[in-house]
Structure 1
Amino acid sequence: MRIFVIHNFYQHAGGEDQVFEQEVRELSKEHDVRVYTSRNVKGVKGLLQYLSYPTNLGEAQRILQQVRAFSPDIVHIHNLHYGIGPWVVRRLRRAGIPVLMTLHNFRLLCPSASLFVGGKIFTASLHEDFPWTAVRQGVLDRSVLKTLLTGFTYWLHRKLGTWNSVNRFMVLSDFAKHLFQSSSFPVAGDRFVVRPNSIDLQPAELRKVGRLLYIGRLAEEKGILPLLDGLVDMDVPLDIYGTGPQLEQVQQRIAKQPQIRYMGYQSREVLTKAIAEADALVVPSVCYEGMPMTIIEAFAQGTPVLASAVGILEEMVVPLYTGMHFNPFEKQSIQNSISQWMALDEAEKKRMGEHCKHEYEEHYTLKKNMELLLSIYEEAIADNRK
């Protein structure tokens, strides 16, 4: 199969980039793959990029020229924000080329992209024709102007019918699929297909060290401070990996808690070993996550997960089967869940760890994930022939 992949990199690397690179690497082993990438920049060039966002004719033309020269069976779009823009979708459709788009976030529903604003889940945009509430609150980088332009871009392409030019939208979970289907997004529900993230990992058989583990950005939406507030009265060992804007507050909270250790920002190899040795991974996010790769890796390593009952986390983690849930907004709920976990005997924890491995094998291996991707490509190509 001939596959043309489009991706726009943000200024700072993220999970979307990892998924894009992994898929291109795997697809290239057996298929003819061509990529087109762009990157958001700063300064005057960045401003011009952003002002061109709604109708970036130049970028669309450059991509179309390469697509025509390559003559792919399908075009797979990962990210268009904001260096490429949605206009390319219209040009591809006019050229009669089937298009699939991975929705790594909720930007097509709300300029915030995360549906998390001011420390709370933000869903006002889901049923608005134009996201005026989001604009008034400046949900994108606390800027009314950036929120307005981004909101206008996606609203304009709703009105132009651009999104109906996409043959398949690929989302990471049933939760995300439901959000899109129940919103004002003007695309038929059968255009959405679910395909989770995946990893290729050989589990390390390491002894569990009896410590809980947090891996992630130290930021408000990740719920790290409420987690620490819940642990302050408990003698529970926790290792924290990562960095972010709340680093100083994290260090202040654990200064007199010797059982809680801040391990800093570490390499992938260090994190993989930490996950394999952990008693459980704690994911206290207070926002709608896409699909945390750390949970998939924990499952692969047979490490249960204690997670917020929020969005996809409630879907991925099954209580007393692959982990436990808690309400991240309630200190007592956090404490009850962790106390319940600590009270389990080793045989029960081991049994749950085996369930985690089973979930990984059933849903998150790279081999099955790539097979599913190819079947979705075939669906999109067949849909384009109708």
Structure 2
Amino acid sequence: MRILVIHNFYQHAGGEDVVFHQEVNELQKNHEVHTLTFQNKKGWRGALQFLHYPWNFYAARQVIKALKRDQPDIVHIHNLHYASGPAYIRSIHKRGIPIVMTLHNYRLLCPSASLFSDGQIFTASVKSTFPWLAIKKRVLDHSLLKTTLTAWTYWLHRKFGTWDKVQTYVVLSSFAKSIFSQSTFPVADHKFTIRPNSIELRPVKVEKLAKLVYIGRFSSEKGIIPLLEAIDGTGIALDIYGAGPQLEQVSRYVAANPTIRYLGYQPQAVLSKAIAQADALVVPSVCYEGMPMTIIEAFAQGTPVLASAIGILKEMVLPLYTGMHFDPFDKNSVRTCLTDWVALDPAEKAKMAANCQAEYKQKYTLTKNMNLLVNIYQDAIQHAKK
């Protein structure tokens, strides 16, 4: 099978980039795989890219060149924001090549992408034909211009029928599929299929330590500050890895609590060892996540997860089987969950650790999910021939 995979890199690396590289590397073992990538720029170059977001003729020309050169049987699209934009979808469809698109977030429904604004879950755009309230709230980087142009771009392509030219949309969970099903997005439900993220790794053999670990961006949607407010003064050991705009606030809590350590932004090998050693991984997000790779790695390492009881996190983490839940908007709920976990019988934790690895092997191995992806490709190609 000849496959063209298209991806738009953000300015800063993220989970979508990991998925892109991982899938390309695996597909290349058995198929002829070609890639076309775009990169978001900073400064005036980035501003120029953003202004071309609604209808990027340069990106469309690049895609057409790749189609002529590679002659793919199928095209797989990951991110579209913002250097490439969605207009090139029409160029691919015009040439009769089926398109599969992975939806890593909710940007097709709302400029926020995460359905989060002002410290709260924000779903007003889901059932709106045009996201006026999202624009008013400046949900994308607190910018009226960015939010408006993004909203207009995706609305414009609704009106032109661009989104219906994609053969199959891959969503990461049944929760994500339900969000799109309930929305005004003008595509039939049968075009959506569920395929979770996955990783392939061997567990790191280390001794478990009596500490929790947080790995992620220090920003409001990730819930790091409510987590620190809940843990403040409890004496619970927490190691924190990451960086972001709330670093100064994080540092204040670290300075006031000797059992909380800030260990900075670290390479993957360090993070893997930290997850393997941890008593539990804490994921306190207050937004609708796509599918955190850290949770999948925790399961692979036999590390239970303490997570917010919202969105995909509620679906992935099973209470007292692979971890525990808390209400991320209630400090007492977070604190109770953490203290209950620390007090839990070690034998119960050991059972949950084994359950985590079983869950990983059943749902999240790379081999199993790559087979599923190839089946999705084959189905899309067959349907396109009808």
Task: Please give the range of the TM-score, normalised by the shorter of the 2 chains.
Answer: over 0.9
Between the aligned partners of 1:76 and 1:305, the Cα distance in structure 2 is 32
Aligned to 1:263: 263
Q: Secondary structure at the match of 1:80?
A: coil
Q: Secondary structure at the match of 1:147?
A: helix
The answer to whether the 8 A contact 2:233-2:257 is kept is no
Query: Deviation of residue 69 (structure 1)?
Result: 2.5
Aligned to 1:150: 150
Query: Deviation of residue 333 (structure 1)?
Result: 0.6
List per-residue Cα deviations over 1:243-262 (Å, max 9, x = no partner): 11111111112322111111
Q: Secondary structure at the match of 1:112?
A: coil
- Paired residues for 1:364-379 under 5 Å: 364-379=364-379
The one-letter amino acid paired with 1:325 is H
Aligned to 2:44: 44
Aligned to 1:309: 309
Q: How many pairs were matched up? A: 386
Aligned to 2:201: 201
Query: Deviation of residue 47 (structure 1)?
Result: 2.5
Q: Which moved more, 1:260-269 or 1:298-307?
A: 260-269
Q: Which moved more, 1:219-228 or 1:316-325?
A: 219-228
List per-residue Cα deviations over 1:328-375 (Å, max 9, x = no partner): 111111121112212211111000000000000001111111111101
Aligned to 2:241: 241
Between the aligned partners of 2:44 and 2:212, the Cα distance in structure 1 is 46
Identity percentage of aligned residues? 60
> Structure 2, unaligned stretches of length 5 or more?
none
Aligned to 2:81: 81
The TM-score normalised by the length of structure 2 is 0.98
**Is 2:164 aligned against 1:159?**
no
Q: Secondary structure at the match of 2:257?
A: coil
List per-residue Cα deviations over 1:161-212 (Å, max 9, x = no partner): 1110000001111111110111000100110111111111101222111111
List per-residue Cα deviations over 1:1-41 (Å, max 9, x = no partner): 10001111111111111111111111111110111111112
The one-letter amino acid paired with 1:20 is F
Pair 1:243–1:46, CA change in 2 (3 A):
closer
> Structure 1, unaligned stretches of length 5 or more?
none
Q: Secondary structure at the match of 2:306?
A: strand
The one-letter amino acid paired with 1:101 is M
The answer to whether the 8 A contact 2:74-2:97 is kept is yes
The one-letter amino acid paired with 1:221 is E
**Is 2:353 aligned against 1:353?**
yes
Aligned to 1:15: 15
The one-letter amino acid paired with 1:124 is A
- Paired residues for 1:1-386 under 5 Å: 1-386=1-386
Query: Deviation of residue 59 (structure 1)?
Result: 1.8
Task: Provide the alpha-carbon RMSD of the alignment.
Answer: 1.1
Q: Which moved more, 1:348-357 or 1:210-219?
A: 210-219
Between the aligned partners of 1:318 and 1:187, the Cα distance in structure 2 is 31
Q: Secondary structure at the match of 2:258?
A: coil
Between the aligned partners of 2:235 and 2:46, the Cα distance in structure 1 is 49
Between the aligned partners of 1:216 and 1:234, the Cα distance in structure 2 is 22
Between the aligned partners of 2:171 and 2:286, the Cα distance in structure 1 is 20
Runs of 4+ in 1 over 6 A off after TM superposition: none
Q: Secondary structure at the match of 1:307?
A: strand
Between the aligned partners of 2:319 and 2:43, the Cα distance in structure 1 is 48
The TM-score normalised by the length of structure 1 is 0.98
Query: Deviation of residue 289 (structure 1)?
Result: 0.7
